[in-house]
A and B are shown apart, each in its own frame.
Chain A
Amino acid sequence: MQALFAQLLVGLINGSFYALLSLGLAVIFGMLNIINFAHGALYMMGAFVAYFLLQYLGIGYWWALLLAPIAVGLFGVVLERTMLQWLTGLDHLYGLLLTFGMALIIQGVFQNYFGSSGLPYAIPDALRGGVNLGFMFLPVYRAWVVIFSVVVCLATWFLIERTRLGAYLRAATENPTLVRAFGINVPRMITLTYGFGVALAALAGVLSAPINQVRPLMGADLIIVVFAVVVIGGMGSIMGSVITGFALGIVEGLTKYFYPEASNTVVFVLMVLVLLVKPTGLTGRAT
């Protein structure tokens, strides 16, 4: 029983990362029509920036939670301004290929300097220890990750679906020319959206640093699972990608308990099943 709950918790945590990453992908896809293959690499950068902040500047976890997403988000803004914006009007697939190239470059550079093994990042003092819930032992940091990412996901959903800025964003996704005619700077909005999506990935990276260690390839294999999550959920709605992310994390955790051999593959198998039944994904609109 204890093991079951432990696996459920692991599943929830992985689900938090899936949700944060697929949320960022959905936001970026909405505005730029690009599947950001570099998302995994930028997630890894988030973790590395947190590590650098602590190692070289003595800045701890709490500030890293704020500063790392900003730093990586700015990096994303530069990427969008210098490269991605030139792809406007081209086939979506070029965006996939360009961001794939960017991912190779970023990961390659980090691998050169830090090898492939992991660097440790300590859990902040305030979140050490755990609580005994009777039926299981709950490490505080893990509970924090789940709660924090739920809050971030809800806040993002609120921002996009319930505020004026979000309304502009959705309008610009539907009809950029018209929104431009209203005097809104759409290219800047696109740039900032990319920066925001990237910052979400970096935030996930900081959150995962104390759990998964900081490794150059930490995002590379994760991103493929996230793509499967995206295919299952469809890119139709913000809430859809968040819920799918968490749900699949839990399914993965349960599989690890009941049939561990399939835990690596269960998400992909689910993807196949969903595609057979509903090709557009669970929350996706027909394209």
Chain B
Amino acid sequence: MTSITDNAAPVHRAGRDEVVAFAIMAAALIAVPFTGIYPYFVMQALCFALFACAFNLLIGYGGLLSFGHAMFLGTAGYVTAHALKVWAVAPEIGVLVGMAAACALSVVTGLVAIRRQGIYFAMITLALSQLLYFLYLQTPFTHGEDGIQGVPQGRMFGILNLADTTTLYYVVLGVFLLAFLLIFRIINSPFGEVLKSIRENEQRAISLGYKTDQYKLLAYILSGTLAGLAGSLKIFVAQNASLTDVHWSMSGEVVLMTLVGGLGTVFGPVVGAFVIIAMQQYLAQFGQWVTVIQGSIFVICVLTFRRGVIGEIGQYFKRSL
């Protein structure tokens, strides 16, 4: 049986390549406000890139396909929006509260979902996120179909005025880059190595004495919490929280982003997120055909292009990116 991440197995460990690629990515993103590119588009894409990276931490390195990751994005978003608007807390506190909510949710759902693997794990996470969708549809604090609108952006640490587009952009970028480095650090740590060994052969990891369930649960919690960070960050960009972020189609979208960019590659999810967000932006006029196009990309990726953009590039140059 070929594992879902076999195609992403490192061809050649090349730490230097990754550092260079990171420097190029950071430089390009820092330059964005000086070009004519619409900053809100890039900010939105960055939030989704972070979301996809967090998702990839779980599937790419733990081999666990979560089909309900939208629940972390949406939960953190709702909690942050509520904290900012109703409790009027400072932005940094709002982000922390949102992440804490996503973390708590991932502990609870992780303890349930981790009991099964493979497609069952995918179906359980999907069902759990649908459960939350209905909860958020009915509880008063989320305002149902309306969502939480007009969320104030405030001043981060009392000095950074997030209502200013350029300041907001660099805050979002800074958080993204830090989180990206954190994920990079996690996958290259001893913990990440154990995680990869579980992905490759869980029985062997168990026989070596690792408590694999604990490793998988921790990976799930880290992934969920970081996905929550993406959800909180998104509130400052969009200034509203709505049911779209918890709906299961959002969970499908993050799978698509990761798949397009390359499952289990470091930079793949970022590229995938930019590709998909750009596509949605520019194809919006075609209405429902966007769904059809997304579905087609899914089918094409699974049938012919399983390594994704970055995976294929890495394979061509015999490097892991």
Contact = CB atoms under 8 A, between A and B. Distances in A.
A83 B127 contact: no
For A89, A91, A228, the residue with the greatest tally of chain B CB atoms inside 10 Å of its CB is A91
A167 interface: no
Contacts of A2: none
Contact of A224 (B127, B288, B292, B299): B127
Interface stretch (B115-123, B175-183, B267-275): B115-123
Interface string B108-148: 00001101111110111011101100110110000000000
A157 interface: no
B4 interface: yes
A136 to B, nearest CB: 28
Using C-beta atoms within 8 Å of the partner chain, give the interface range for chain B. 35 or more
Interface string A76-104: 00000001001101111111111011111
Contacts of A279: 115-116
A275 B116 contact: yes
SS of B interface (majority): helix
A228 B67 CA distance: 13
Contacts of A163: none
Contact of B292 (A97, A108, A231): A108
Contact of B127 (A35, A93, A231): A231
A101 B306 CA distance: 14
Contacts of A228: 123, 127, 130
A164 B106 CA distance: 48
Contacts of B127: 224, 227-228, 231, 267-268, 271
Contacts of B303: 83, 86, 98
B120 A102 contact: no
A97 B67 CA distance: 10
A100 B287 CA distance: 19
B131 A96 contact: no
Contacts of B248: 224
Contacts of B1: 89-91
B2 interface: yes
Interface in A28-77: 35
A131 interface: no
Nearest to B248: A224
A96 B122 contact: yes
Top 5 closest pairs, chain A to chain B, by CB: A101-B298, A104-B295, A108-B291, A105-B295, A108-B292
Given A101-B302, A104-B291, A108-B288, 5 more contacts: A87-B302, A108-B290, A264-B137, A265-B134, A268-B128
Interface of A: 35, 83, 86-87, 89-98, 100-109, 111-112, 221, 224-225, 227-228, 230-231, 261, 264-265, 267-269, 271-272, 275-276, 279-280, 287
